[in-house]
Amino acid sequence: MNSIVAIVGRPNVGKSTLFNRLVQRRDAIVDSVSGVTRDRHYGKSDWNGKQFSVIDTGGYVIGSDDIFEEEIRKQVALAIDEADIIIFVVDVEEGITPMDAEVAKLLHKVKKPIFTVVNKVDNSMRETDALEFYNLGLGDYHTISSMNGSGTGDLLDAITAKMPEPEAINPDEEELPRFAVVGRPNAGKSSFINALIGEERNIVTDIAGTTRDAIDTKYNRFGFDFNLVDTAGIRKKSKVKDDLEFYSVMRAVRTIEYADVIILIVDATRGFEGQDQNIFWLAEKNRKGIVILINKWDLMEKETNTLRDFEAKIRTQIAPFTDVPIIFISTLTKQRIFKAIETAVEVFQNRKNKIPTSKFNETMLELVKTFPPPAIKGKYVKIKYCMQLPTPTPQFVFFCNLPQYVKDPYKRFVENKLREIYNFSGVPITIYFRQK
């Protein structure tokens, strides 16, 4: 289970710069898919062989420098609730401000690892100035300059030392698929789960301790075995009002990372809004299977093309990853509930698709020969060999002479063709072009 690291602190101390430093190493490689880095406050990183998620709480406050202290308190409260490790950033140029002292007071009560990070320390004079931060009462601190990166390596060493060792995966254990039901408050998550379980709650077995807050429930319905990760109850725990998109996104992070397929429930009466999109991109970025359920369809005024237009609009909002099942349901009348679960199981299977290398070469090499990448500066890209990588989620590599000349539009063309030929509905796939 990946750890979640949250960065807290008042505005303008350099939280976002530090965030970019922590995630760029990996994001630059992993997220070559254009349009995936829309959410710039959430990223993945790895260091010393440990992968973790980083959340910058700062980017979410809307307002100017004189941000209400209330907002910052909310963020810190949320980070304390949701993160495994907290980085508290302060600014050596300004010394301890009343707001810093306030944040430190909140952190004193916390039993989680807290790293005080004094930013903008780029010479020995400032090392001495940093000593005053001992007065925050949080023990030792780390000095860094997030602008030039000095000190961040040592900080990462210290942070990853506090993370559990990655668990070895036992290939013989057939894990049940985990379906997480996510969505905005009041979209109908609980009703969906209740409609699924019906009156049979007593045959439900809760697997204790699988995550701190989402409850895994093992089901066997409709001939499928699966674990349902019920996140409906997660919200109640926090002292934080759920009024900003950020909060539901941060809540969704842990759940999404922990599941195989994300069932995103959207309220038809409100449409596919910013928060739904955030959750969608989060699932896409984590390479999870995705099924979109449009709930409360029974409440919509119907005209001839209502359904088609509604669906078409969502597909434009989730482009370029549009190969996603969208199902219209009603948790009230139980309309298409079975179809929803059936589709989630299909998406889970699609995510495990493995295409034999010989077959893959036969099909795809023929295709790229017929439609080669456009020549650039008179140079022609020749693709010689391709294969699926032995990764948990579908990734493909195409070996060619000039990978640097293969641009995004061509990568998308190859992905679309691949999707036409093989069934990867609901599953994000990654395509690399490499030199042999």
Q: Which helix (H) or strand (E) holds 127?
A: helix 124-129
Q: Would the annotation count 98 as a binding residue?
A: no
Q: Would the annotation count 9 as a binding residue?
A: yes
Q: Would the annotation count 260 as a binding residue?
A: no
Q: Would the annotation count 123 as a binding residue?
A: no
Please tell me the distance from the alpha carbon of residue 109 to that of residue 239, in angstroms, as a whole number. Answer: 15
Q: Would the annotation count 134 as a binding residue?
A: no
Q: Find tokens 């973790």 and name the residue.
A: 52
Token pair belonging to 399: 């070996």
Q: Would the annotation count 343 as a binding residue?
A: no
| Strand partners of residue 52 | 3, 45
Q: Would the annotation count 233 as a binding residue?
A: yes
Nearest CA-CA partner of 377 in 336, 415, 405: 405
Nearest CA-CA partner of 424 in 375, 320, 351: 351
255 φ, ψ (degrees, to nearest 5): -60, -45
Q: Would the annotation count 120 as a binding residue?
A: yes
Residue 376 DSSP label: B
Q: Would the annotation count 59 as a binding residue?
A: yes
Q: Would the annotation count 234 as a binding residue?
A: yes
Nearest CA-CA partner of 287 in 433, 430, 431: 430
Please tell me the distance from the alpha carbon of residue 376 to that of residue 282, in angstroms, as a whole number. Answer: 34
Q: Would the annotation count 209 as a binding residue?
A: no
Q: Would the annotation count 105 as a binding residue?
A: no
Sheet holding 50-56, edge to edge: 42-47, 50-56, 3-8, 85-91, 114-119, 141-143
Token pair belonging to 335: 């309309």
Q: Would the annotation count 297 as a binding residue?
A: yes
Nearest CA-CA partner of 331 in 187, 183, 185: 187
Q: Would the annotation count 121 as a binding residue?
A: yes
Q: Would the annotation count 220 as a binding residue?
A: no
Q: Would the annotation count 14 as a binding residue?
A: yes
Please tell me the distance from the alpha carbon of residue 145 to that of residue 147, in angstroms, as a whole number. Answer: 5
Please tell me the distance from the alpha carbon of residue 76 to that of residue 53, in angstroms, as a whole number. Answer: 17
Q: Where are the beta strands (DSSP E) in 11-84?
A: 42-47, 50-56
Please tell me the distance from the alpha carbon of residue 225 to that of residue 326, in angstroms, as a whole number. Answer: 22
Q: Would the annotation count 15 as a binding residue?
A: yes
Q: Would the annotation count 296 as a binding residue?
A: yes
Token pair belonging to 305: 């093309």
Angle at 52 (CA atoms; ends 55, 157), nearest 5 degrees = 105
Q: Would the annotation count 203 as a binding residue?
A: no
Please tell me the distance from the alpha carbon of residue 426 to that of residue 290, in angstroms, as a whole number. Answer: 5
Please tell me the distance from the alpha carbon of residue 313 to that of residue 271, in angstroms, as a whole number. Answer: 10
Q: Would the annotation count 230 as a binding residue?
A: yes
Q: Would the annotation count 66 as a binding residue?
A: no
Please tell me the distance from the alpha carbon of residue 224 to that of residue 178, in angstroms, as a whole number. Answer: 12
**3-state SS, residue 154:** helix
Q: Would the annotation count 189 as a binding residue?
A: yes
Q: Would the annotation count 154 as a binding residue?
A: no
Q: Would the annotation count 190 as a binding residue?
A: yes
| Strand partners of residue 292 | 264, 326
Q: Would the annotation count 211 as a binding residue?
A: no
Q: Would the annotation count 73 as a binding residue?
A: no
Summarize the annotated binding site as residue ranges.
9-16, 56-60, 119-122, 183-190, 230-234, 295-298
Summarize the annotated binding site for GTP as residue ranges.
9-16, 56-60, 119-122, 183-190, 230-234, 295-298
